[in-house]
Amino acid sequence: MTILVTGAAGFIGSNFVLDWLKTSSETVINLDKLTYAGNRHNLVTIQDDPRHTLVQGDIGDQTLVPQLLATHRPRAILNFAAESHVDRSIHGPGEFIQTNIVGTFHLLEAARDYWMQLEDAEKANFRFLHVSTDEVYGTLTASDAPFTEQNRYEPNSPYSSSKAASDHLVRAWHHTYGLPVLTTNCSNNYGPYHFPEKLIPLTITNALAGKPVPIYGDGLQVRDWLYVGDHCSGIRRVLEAGTIGETYNIGGWNEQTNISIVQKICALLDERRPRADGTSYATQITHVKDRPGHDRRYAIDARKIEQQLGWRPAETFETGIRKTVDWYLENAEWVTQVQSGAYRDWVNKQYGETV
């Protein structure tokens, strides 16, 4: 048995593959474009594992993807491939349209052609699982109930708009063509191998480097935080038992403000690797101009997956963030490798030259 996982050299995808191979003998074909956020080093521990094959390529490649499907005959496609950083989407939305919308369209078409040619039993068992985000639902006020699967889509950034469009395509390919799809919408992930342009890894790496730790505006934006290992287990459960055509929200039940996240990380670093001058890393926190259209609050209601599929996150934020900080402290070489000149140029552009 084989599964095809797209975008599986990125943060969530690589964690999924590493986790999958710990618990399954099933072969994984990993299709990744290997852009700045796709990193072979995420997969170094399985580089010699015969159950894993990494193929560099684009989900929109109308020759390569059908060839992979015909050759490896996967029982499922899991689509993690996406441009995912809101800040980058504001500066360059074109790549997000191309990958998240056009790329998903071509992947769906390849999957549909492949699925239609399967024998009856294989056809019945095939699944296309699309990994999406809670940002498609828009923003919440402090008093609003968390997002459920019934919330209407109100995306507010080029990134979330492109993901919303891809979700609609997946839904349409099920209702129009019968393709057996599953969609998951997750809250903010954190954990090992997280590219250090996002809040948590940026905080850790900048703090340790003695640089300013940037935080947008007043820092009171609220997010629901989900440890990446829990997200992976949730996806496995949806693939295993989810109802075809359904959407499942995967959340961590951990709403936190951005400023509280940064303060907790600084406190953990104070404990685990104190600064030489004895002061707290919190002195490095620097408030910068808020980004355009910054959503104030996201929160996931994950009762559907809990009640229907019996899944709940194993980590609290306190246990998950400790694991995350420890991983970055123990993997300084990985951090150095991903912080290329292009990455430094991006951070300076986004947060200011002082960062």
- By annotation, the residues acting in catalysis are 134-135, 159
Tell me which residue has tokens 């730790």: 213
Query: How far, rounded to the nearest angstrom, does the alpha carbon of residue 56 sit from its chain's CA centroid?
Result: 19
- The secondary structure of 156-198 as a DSSP string is -SHHHHHHHHHHHHHHHHHHHH---EEEEEE-EEESTT--TTS
Cβ contacts of 274 within 8 Å, gap of 6 or more? none
Residue 104: count of CB within 10 angstroms of its CB: 27
For residue 129, give the DSSP letter: E
Q: Which residue has the tokens 């491939």?
A: 81
In the chain, which ranges are E strands?
Answer: 2-6, 27-32, 52-56, 76-79, 127-133, 181-186, 188-190, 213-216, 222-227, 247-250, 255-257, 285-288
Alpha-helix residue ranges (DSSP H) falling in 285-340 = 303-309, 317-330, 332-338
Could you identify the residue written with the tokens 């934020």? Answer: 317
- Answer whether 68's CB lies under 8 Å from 133's CB: no
Alpha carbons within 13 A on the beta-carbon side of 350: 25
Number of H helices, E strands in the chain: 14, 12
The span from the CA of 126 to the CA of 335, in Å, is: 38
| 249 beta partners | 185
The alpha-carbon radius of gyration of the chain (Å, integer) is 20
Q: How far is CA 289 from CA 22, 27, 51, 259, 336, in A?
A: 43, 46, 47, 14, 27
